[in-house]
Chains A and B, each alone.
Chain A
Amino acid sequence: MTAVSNALWRAFGALVVALMLTPLALVVLFSFTDNALTNFPIERFSTRWFRTLFERAEFWKAFGNSLTIAGSVAVISSVVGTLAALALARLGERLANAALVTLCFPVMLPALVIGIALLVFFNKTGVPFSLATVILGHLVITQPFVILIVYARMVGFDYAAVDSARDLGASPWVAFWTVTFPMVSTTVIGAALIAMAISLDDFIITFFTIGGGNTLPTYIWGKVRTYLDPSINAIGTILLALTIASTVLALRLSRYRG
């Protein structure tokens, strides 16, 4: 390939990345301005919008809800996902692959469809909407990720180590906590953080299953509909920071390379 076409490809790549990142960069940029509207020119930088945000009780309520939900989703999906992955790994490759494909259906469905389906489901079964229904809703989409990630770790897992633990006097329970879990723990924690990032970000499923109250994304949505002030950018920045932090941590822990 010639140098020119090489440069063109690079420019194209840079353009794509720029287009994808610009909105995010703008959100962050405007969250730190003094402007009363989200517009140029920027006259002064300040943390004013963060301060106004932090003064509002609804923000803290939504923030708390987001953390409760994301935390619960992370814990539940990693526990259930680890157990499921361990069971799948014992099942043999053929059956396990069939089960994985089935389990991954929710990931392929549009979130809107899942949201509406859950809404109808909880309605018909008479389950009252609450944070619990949101957690259940999020689990539908995070669970497959965790199972996939942990299952991938179990391929090539040294079962002789677990057998050795049993041989040396460990009950199945003790063998799990002293050998199996430490061997897969970084992967499990990584998967939990990814589940957390997905949960923090989700708007659609939350919207359909929360009933009353807000999470950060639905709080933004409410504000957008009433009065668009730059404190929304501040929330966006906070969400972005949380998501990036948990993803980066997850990738580092699961030793993701490229």
Chain B
Amino acid sequence: MAADAKRPDGGRTPLVQLRGLTKSFGPVVAVRPLDLDIYAGDFFALLGPSGCGKTTLLRMIGGFTEPSGGTIAIDGVDVTRLGPEKRPTNMVFQGYGLFPHMTVRQNIGYGLRLARVAVAERAGRVERIMDLVRIAELAERRPDALSGGQAQRVALARALVMEPRVLLLDEPLAALDLKLRKQMQEELRRIHRQIGGTFVFVTHDQGEAMGLANRIAVMEAGSCVQEGGPEEIYRQPKTRFVSSFIGEANVLAGERRAGVVTLGAGAGFAEAGADGTVSVVVRPEDVRLDPGADAEIRLDGRLEDVVFLGPYTRYRVVLDSGEEVVVHAGDAAGQAVGERVAVGWRRDRQRLVQGS
């Protein structure tokens, strides 16, 4: 798989290793015992809906929240009990957390000053990082005179100038408007390419995760439910939650008895596995209207809605079972709304997940 080709493994030890990491706030379990490996050079996304524990997990890696259990190792060193100032990580906070009483240059130089980097070297590194994130002309401004996008860049520069082993970003683009967000996504990709560091970022936007990351961990209610490359997660979602959270998906209920799956909508096929309810997940772009002979799964329904969206047309079909199937097709097929149609797809295009 393309995304997997970039994956650095093959006996290499991960840069960040989380083992059984968990956090409870009183009765609330924010992060359930969780194992995760992040490799050097990864642009790693922690993706999940609001409240699933992404920020808590990131803050534990950065040293701002003490874990209730488990360990964090960075570069093979156990850092679980270390404060943030002693970890080889730097974080870009959601609200940026710029120092309002310092200029942009002082903000960026703050960490180097504390590390007692010599004045000349410090100035040089600050200059270079300001060039990298393209804020050189803002050097003497105060944070309250910056736009959201500029503040974002300053926060990024302030963390990057420390040359962290791992850069942590909490919803780095959430506060920006759509256009700026797209622009900053490109910037982040460029910066990651240019300095070749390891970035871990939190987002609830699957598009952003897919667009930036080479590895994605999907989180649900404090657990990591799947980890993999973007394509793997899109093509082979392990749970129904993952399939519907990442992109659009058709999910059809079915039941498996003695290795035969029967869909509530009608079709059936053989697939070995445990008895019980199952769900079939298939992406809209993999479903065909009036499918050809190669479509092993075929269902009948009524065309409910057609929307032309430019690159493709979106068809909404209501099956006889009452379930809905969305089809994205490049070529207009000429069916009219209200007509009876057949939909179908190839077996290798669908995913079967346990449960409903």
Binding site for B on A (CB under 8 A): 158-171, 174, 178-179, 182-183
Contact = CB atoms under 8 A, between A and B. Distances in A.
Interface centre among A160, A162, A171 (most CB of B within 10 A): A160
Contact of A174 (B90, B93, B114): B114
Given A166-B84, A167-B85, A183-B101, A160 B158 contact: no
Given A161-B97, A166-B83, 5 more contacts: A160-B97, A161-B99, A163-B93, A167-B64, A183-B99
21 contacts: A158-B95, A160-B96, A160-B97, A161-B100, A163-B64, A163-B97, A164-B93, A165-B110, A167-B62, A167-B63, A167-B64, A167-B85, A167-B89, A167-B90, A167-B159, A169-B114, A169-B162, A170-B85, A171-B83, A171-B85, A183-B101
Interface string B95-121: 111111100000000110011000000
Contacts of A174: 114
A165 B64 CA distance: 11
Contacts of A167: 62-64, 84-85, 89-91, 159
A160 B114 contact: no
3 A-B pairs with the lowest CB-CB distances in the bound complex, closest first: A160-B97, A168-B111, A164-B97
Contacts, number: 67
A104 B11 CA distance: 64
A36 B95 CA distance: 67
A164 B96 CA distance: 8
Given A169-B85, A170-B85, A171-B85, A164 B99 contact: yes
Contacts of B64: 163, 166-167
Contacts of A170: 85, 114
Contacts of A169: 85, 111, 114-115, 162
Contacts of B114: 168-170, 174
B262 interface: no
A174 B114 CA distance: 9
A168 B162 contact: yes
B241 to A, nearest CB: 30
| Interface core residue of B63, B93, B162 (most chain A CB under 10 Å) | B93
Contacts of A163: 64, 84, 91, 93, 97
Contacts of A179: 99
Given A160-B94, A170-B114, A165 B99 contact: yes
A158 B89 CA distance: 21
Contacts of B62: 167
A91 to B, nearest CB: 15
Contacts of B83: 166, 171
Contacts of A165: 99, 110
Contacts of B100: 158, 161, 183
B53 to A, nearest CB: 18
Contacts of A161: 97-100
B101 A182 contact: yes
Nearest to B111: A168
A168 B110 contact: yes
A176 to B, nearest CB: 13
A247 to B, nearest CB: 25
B170 to A, nearest CB: 9
A245 to B, nearest CB: 26
Give the one of A163, A164, A174 with max B CB within 10 A: A164
Interface string B136-161: 00000000000000000001001100
B88 to A, nearest CB: 11
Contacts of A162: 97
A162 B91 CA distance: 12
A58 to B, nearest CB: 45
A214 B89 CA distance: 59
Contacts of A182: 99, 101
